[in-house]
Amino acid sequence: MTTTPSRPRSALAATARDLTRVHGRGDTAVHALRGVDLDLPAGRFTAVMGPSGSGKSTLMHCLAGLDVPTSGSVSVAGRALEQMDDTALTVFRREHVGFVFQSFNLLPMLTAGQNIDLPLELAGRRPDAATRARRDLVVDVLGLRDRLEHRPGELSGGQQQRVAIARALVTAPDIVFADEPTGNLDSEASAEVLDLLRRSVRELGQTVVMVTHELDAAAYADDVVVLADGEVRDHLVEPTADQLVAVLRGERTR
Ligand code: ADP
Ligand code: MG
């Protein structure tokens, strides 16, 4: 007799429960997030979309431990962030979370290679064989081997963002957040960066969550979370282009 094995539930890289973030207070209070519940599965590429001001960046910052929610809870790799003090949170972020910004945020005086190695140095991680192998793999997947000695100012925008992605991936974090990573890039460099984020999920098993307002960019993702007015409007699993367009059209008519 054969039994059908129950499919294992996919692990969650991050979750948000009733996540609320209010900026300011009284008459000027802005409700950036209004009770967000979200499960982000490990090993997938999720795009977060929504109009300007819908709370995308605030959500990313709360999930990454860069901003503190007003209420609700966030867990990353099974650990509740609200139970950590500042020091614990800093250490946790360094080891478990990667972040890619629209403006690259590389240190201009360091070479590309030194920028990539910075998280390892900050973590005081000894460059053991596994760490070196990981670093080499990331450098090769991102096509940066012959750029390691260059300083950011000597690199194109697309190359700088590739360095920033390598820096985010080098520690093999549980989750990488990218907030409009192609916002400062031309279409060719954008396609390259999106393809590399896609490959980091497929070939390195990373979990990537990316904010974008471009349909073309979202098409690289597996899943799409749509935010509107600080709430999750939709969480589409492997949407077709048509489904995505329909949801975003609905958004514009609001
Ligand atoms: P998005 O990234 O989708 O454009 P944000 O998360 O940046 O949205 O912002 C959501 C809302 O919160 C907006 O109304 C924005 O003006 C407000 N907001 C964000 N950050 C702050 C802040 N530090 N102080 C006051 N209001 C803020
Ligand atoms: Mg934003």
User: What is the percentage of the chain residues whose pLDDT exceeds 70?
Assistant: 94
Task: Indicate which residue's Cα is closest to atom 25 of ligand 1.
Answer: 23
- Ligand 1 atom with the smallest distance to the CA of 54 is 3
Contact between 244 and 224 under an 8 Å Cβ cutoff? The reply is: yes
Best of 20, 25, 57, 58 to mutate for ligand 1, by most ligand atoms within 8 A of CB?
A: 58
Q: Which residues line ligand 1 (CB under 6 A)?
A: 23-24, 30, 32, 50, 52-58
CA atoms of 170 and 141, how far apart (whole Å): 11
pLDDT in tens, 240-254: 988 888 888 875 444
> Tens digit of pLDDT for each residue in 23-55?
999 899 999 999 999 999 999 999 999 999 999
User: CA dist 230 to 45, 128, 234, Å?
Assistant: 21, 43, 12
- pTM (2 d.p.): 0.92
- Give me the pLDDT at residue 249, please: 81
Residue nearest ligand 1's atom 21 by CA: 23
The pick from 20, 30, 177 for probing ligand 1's pocket by mutation, whose C-beta has the most ligand atoms within 8 angstroms, reads 30
Q: Which ligand has the nearest atom to the CA of 59?
A: 1
- Assign a CATH topology to domain 12-248: Rossmann fold (3.40.50)
Q: Which atom of ligand 1 is closest in space to residue 52's alpha carbon?
A: 4
Residue with tokens 């929610």: 69
Dist. CA 15 → ligand 2 center (Å): 20
Burial code (b: 16+ CB inside 10 Å, e: under 16) for 61-90 equals: bbbbbbbebbebebbbbeeebeeeeeeebe
> At 251, phi and psi to the nearest 5?
-60, -40
